Amino acid sequence: QVQLVESGGGSVQAGGSLRVSCAASEITLALSCSAWVRQAPGKERERVATIDRYGQASYADSVKGRFTISQDSAKNTLYLQMNNLKPEDTAMYYCAADTRIYSCDLNYWGQGTQVTVSS
């Protein structure tokens, strides 16, 4: 059974940093397209960072220059380093992956970890 388990969320003041992690089982993240997606109450889901099967990363304009997506193949874990956090970054952050070749539509999802940024 595929599992994606996020951790590392929490509360931080504006300007601070957090790193969230996503441990995967029964899939190999290095062979998948993986992403971090966030959703704030009353707002649409937003894909903030993606890393493809070739290790190429891409970011939403709202987080570019502040967030970094990475993965540790040995640990089969995905990370999102978030720096210079802003109150508008407050959301539930979900790890997601797509194991289907040529696809990054994200067919597996974690349960999410809450990130709260106070001003």
**9-48 pLDDT, tens digit each:** 999 999 999 999 999 999 999 899 999 999 999 999 999 9
User: What is the mean predicted confidence (pLDDT) over 84-103?
Assistant: 95
Q: Is the pLDDT confidence value at 102 over 90?
A: no
Per-residue model confidence (pLDDT) at position 101: 86
Residue 26 in tokens:
């029964």
pLDDT (average), residues 99-109 = 92
Q: Is the pLDDT of residue 79 over 90?
A: yes
